[in-house]
A and B are shown apart, each in its own frame.
Chain A
Amino acid sequence: MKINLITGFLALLMLFSNKSKAQSFPSGKDIAQKTHEKNEGVSMSRKLTMELKDKRGKIRLRETISLRKYFGKEKRLAIFYQTPKSVQGTAFLTYDYPDVSVDDDQWLYMPALRKTRRISAANRGDYFLGTDLTYEDIKLETRISREDYNYKTVRKEMIDGQECYVLEGTPVSKEIAKELGYGKVKFWVDAKIWMLRKADSWDIAGNHLKTIEIKDIKKVQNIWTYHKIFAKNHKTNHETTFLISEIDYQTTISDDTFTKEAMVNGL
């Protein structure tokens, strides 16, 4: 009887001890919120190089100039293709609205047609221009969604020598899972600067789908900035490396850069 009492007491102690340990982690929701509070500056220009490597090792390069500006809480992004030279001038424009229930507006300028085509942004899980990141991944950059997942903060782990919270997330509904193309996600969020450092995702059937690693994070003009993203699709063995350079948060970008007319006139 005495032994049973001691065992019971110890079990209770362990339970409370585990609970208090779990409570010492911020909630997934709070972490997600913090990733959205990071300073991104008002404007930014950068060179974005995409290296696409297929399972046979064939590499294709795309070089773009990317311009971004906040108009209040609305974010506008324009991407201008520099290479391949035969598609130089291709431009992509997005208006990203603060109200998550409102779809982005997107346009694609195709120099071969000299026409700007309006494109639907409803399919967030579609892959962005042949890369291994989806439109949603591109939109969030180093943030994680506040609305799409139920999170659980499971532990702390070191990534690239930095302490990160590990979050496991499951989509809040079947519809969201279908929209995003993910049945489960795992995020590693830097515990100091609140930037995503690594993400793993699984498809709806539970197969390991993708790994994304965000590397070379350092301050540029006093803003924490990533310089490399590596994404691997485990199903197709296709890889994309995004290299970011010539980053400038202090550049002056005129408002009319983010118009259909500017896409036609180019950089």
Chain B
Amino acid sequence: MISKPYSLVILLLLIAGVYAQEKQYTFKEALESSLIVETDFSYEFDSQSLQKSEIILKPKFSYRVNKRSKLVLIGQVYSELNDNLEEEVPGQETVSDLSKRLFIGDRTDLELRELYFYTNVANKLRLTIGKQQIVWGETDGLKLLDIVNPQNFREFILDDFEDSRVPLWSIKGEFDIKDIAVQVVWIPDNTYHITQDFDAPFFTQNLFPKPPEGVTTVFNDALKPKRFIKDSDIGFRLSAFTQGWDISFNYFYYYDDLPAFYNKIEAFDTAPTVVISPRFERQHLVGGTFNKVFGSSTFRGEMAYVFDQNFISTNPVAMSGVENSDVFKSAIGIDYIKGESIISAQLFSDIITDDILAYNRDRFETNTSLKVSQEMMNDNLTLETLWVHNANHGDGYIRPQLSYWMNTSTQLFLESSVFYGDKNQLFGQFRDRSRVSVGMRWGI
């Protein structure tokens, strides 16, 4: 029996083969290729050492099968020369077999980032079948609805979302019902967030309470969904543009990309031990977005209501150390454009609806972000600063960036990421990871 996402690959090849019979282009006309090379070297202030020395090659091939169909392949060769962010070969336990990266030694891996077949059937139905990224939402910097694809937290949230988002084997169908654009997604790929080991630079320690002195911790393997159909994620988005308003309604039935960390204290050889048994669990999400332009400003918003979100609890009577509650997340933002300047401000709220005692967070959490961008010299030079701040705990990060187009193909970057705040909080925990980076992006 053919199992799991392999079926999707075979389906993709079969469809591509059938469409290839309608070929209207010569091979040379049909094939388009490009290569992007990126380098990024980051110096960590605290340790006074290189935090990362990254070289990424991204070849892309797009083969136009006919006027309405194409096959797209995006690969990636990733090298981290000082093997610091993901030390040695990571286990990839949360990644499905067909989405795993292939490691060549400790420092280099090969990844099939995307491989999909896109077709427009009779101008009625647009299908994208294969490994791809599906992105929802309106916000910058922090995610509410952009949860269809999981994320690699190798650099927490500093990596470009394009790189940190983990593409999944999935089918996306799009069609219109009158003026409503419908998008339906089906994702049988059981891949979840790639979190980091305890000793990795960007291990998110704020998620877990430290065990009491003298108590050891045992981490069991995460209980991960494996069934191809029953454990797949499904969702849809309805969107419309009416009276100057862009609006969408989203629904997603999915496994949370972070497991619930069930824990209990057991005695091994009379020594108390905290045993943590992570388990991925189902959730429903409903949400939506809106935006409208008023003069020089765009007003935009995003909402997400998540049912039965699991939290590690500090309530001593909580079952296995976990409580759950619905969560309402919202964000409103405004983008003001004047000439070559953009000012973008966002306010994020996150409310736990039930009276539970979630570890290391308040029931009402507020984050803010401010981005100021200035383009100069006919878009040759861009100065940008992003500031994200948590109002509850006073932590956050500031990220000034300068980018410069040297010529048509080459862009240079200089940026710094500075974290501040309490070491037990989401952003503050990385205050020793503050860094300055230089990089280049070149494409042919």
Seen from chain A, the residues whose Cβ lies within 8 Å of a Cβ on chain B are 52, 54, 58-62, 83-86, 88, 103, 105, 111-115, 117-123, 126-127, 129-132, 236, 238, 254, 256, 259-261, 264-265
Beta-carbon contact of A105 and B244 below 8 Å: yes
Which B residues touch A260, using CB under 8 A?
181, 239, 241, 246
B405 within 8 Å of A (CB atoms) = yes
Beta-carbon contact of A117 and B378 below 8 Å: no
Which B residues touch A120, using CB under 8 A?
293, 295-298, 335, 337
Distance between Cα atoms of A234 and B120 in the complex (Å): 47
Which A residues touch B392, using CB under 8 A?
none
Which listed residue, A121, A123, A131, touches B378 by the CB 8 Å rule? A131
B221 within 8 Å of A (CB atoms) = no
Distance between Cα atoms of A256 and B183 in the complex (Å): 14
B368 to chain A, nearest CB (A): 19
Beta-carbon contact of A123 and B338 below 8 Å: yes
7 smallest A-B Cβ distances: which pairs?
Answer: A130-B379, A85-B443, A86-B443, A114-B135, A85-B34, A130-B378, A61-B408
Closest to B67 in A: A252
Which listed residue, B181, B293, B441, touches A261 by the CB 8 Å rule? B181
Distance between Cα atoms of A167 and B210 in the complex (Å): 78
Distance between Cα atoms of A127 and B379 in the complex (Å): 10
B63 within 8 Å of A (CB atoms) = no
Closest to A181 in B: B339
Beta-carbon contact of A84 and B408 below 8 Å: yes
Beta-carbon contact of A113 and B162 below 8 Å: yes
B288 within 8 Å of A (CB atoms) = no
Beta-carbon contact of B411 and A86 below 8 Å: yes
28 CB contacts below 8 A, A to B, read A54-B380, A60-B405, A62-B408, A83-B408, A84-B409, A85-B34, A85-B36, A88-B34, A105-B244, A112-B162, A113-B161, A115-B137, A117-B298, A117-B335, A120-B293, A120-B296, A120-B297, A120-B335, A126-B339, A132-B378, A238-B378, A254-B123, A256-B123, A256-B126, A259-B181, A260-B181, A260-B239, A261-B174
Question: Which chain B residues numbered 110 to 124 have a C-beta less than 8 Å away from chain A?
Answer: 118, 120, 123
Closest to A254 in B: B123
Which A residues touch B183, using CB under 8 A?
261
Beta-carbon contact of B293 and A105 below 8 Å: yes
Closest to B442 in A: A86
Which B residues touch A113, using CB under 8 A?
135, 140, 161-162
Beta-carbon contact of A54 and B378 below 8 Å: yes
Question: Which chain B residues numbered 390 to 407 have a C-beta less than 8 Å away from chain A?
Answer: 405, 407
Beta-carbon contact of B161 and A114 below 8 Å: yes
B191 within 8 Å of A (CB atoms) = no
Beta-carbon contact of B174 and A86 below 8 Å: no
Which A residues touch B133, using CB under 8 A?
114
Distance between Cα atoms of A85 and B74 in the complex (Å): 13
B319 to chain A, nearest CB (A): 39
Seen from chain B, the residues whose Cβ lies within 8 Å of a Cβ on chain A are 34-36, 118, 120, 123, 126, 128, 133, 135, 137-138, 140, 160-162, 165, 174, 176, 181, 183, 239, 241, 244, 246, 291-293, 295-298, 300, 335, 337-340, 375, 377-380, 405, 407-409, 411, 441-444
Closest to B124 in A: A256
Which B residues touch A129, using CB under 8 A?
379
Beta-carbon contact of B295 and A122 below 8 Å: yes
A64 to chain B, nearest CB (A): 13
Beta-carbon contact of A265 and B378 below 8 Å: no
A123 to chain B, nearest CB (A): 6
Distance between Cα atoms of A217 and B378 in the complex (Å): 27
Which B residues touch A88, using CB under 8 A?
34, 443
Distance between Cα atoms of A84 and B442 in the complex (Å): 9
Are A84 and B443 also in contact (CB < 8 A) when A113-B161, A117-B335, A254-B123 are? yes
Distance between Cα atoms of A265 and B65 in the complex (Å): 15
Closest to B377 in A: A54
Which A residues touch B379, using CB under 8 A?
129-130
Distance between Cα atoms of A260 and B174 in the complex (Å): 12
Which A residues touch B298, using CB under 8 A?
117-120
Distance between Cα atoms of A114 and B145 in the complex (Å): 13
Which B residues touch A126, using CB under 8 A?
337, 339-340
Which A residues touch B34, using CB under 8 A?
85, 88
Beta-carbon contact of A122 and B296 below 8 Å: yes
Beta-carbon contact of A118 and B300 below 8 Å: yes
Beta-carbon contact of B340 and A127 below 8 Å: yes
Beta-carbon contact of B408 and A60 below 8 Å: yes
Known: A54-B378, A122-B293. 17 other contacts (CB 8 A): A84-B408, A84-B411, A85-B36, A86-B411, A86-B442, A105-B293, A112-B162, A114-B133, A114-B165, A118-B291, A120-B295, A123-B296, A127-B339, A130-B375, A130-B378, A254-B120, A261-B181
Which A residues touch B128, using CB under 8 A?
265
Beta-carbon contact of B300 and A130 below 8 Å: no
Beta-carbon contact of B35 and A52 below 8 Å: no
B25 to chain A, nearest CB (A): 13
Distance between Cα atoms of A65 and B118 in the complex (Å): 19
Beta-carbon contact of A118 and B380 below 8 Å: no
Which listed residue, B120, B377, B409, touches A86 by the CB 8 Å rule? B409
Which listed residue, A114, A115, A118, A256, touches B176 by the CB 8 Å rule? A256
Distance between Cα atoms of A86 and B36 in the complex (Å): 6
Closest to B248 in A: A260
B440 to chain A, nearest CB (A): 10
Which listed residue, A62, A85, A115, A130, touches B35 by the CB 8 Å rule? A85
Distance between Cα atoms of A118 and B133 in the complex (Å): 21
B378 to chain A, nearest CB (A): 4
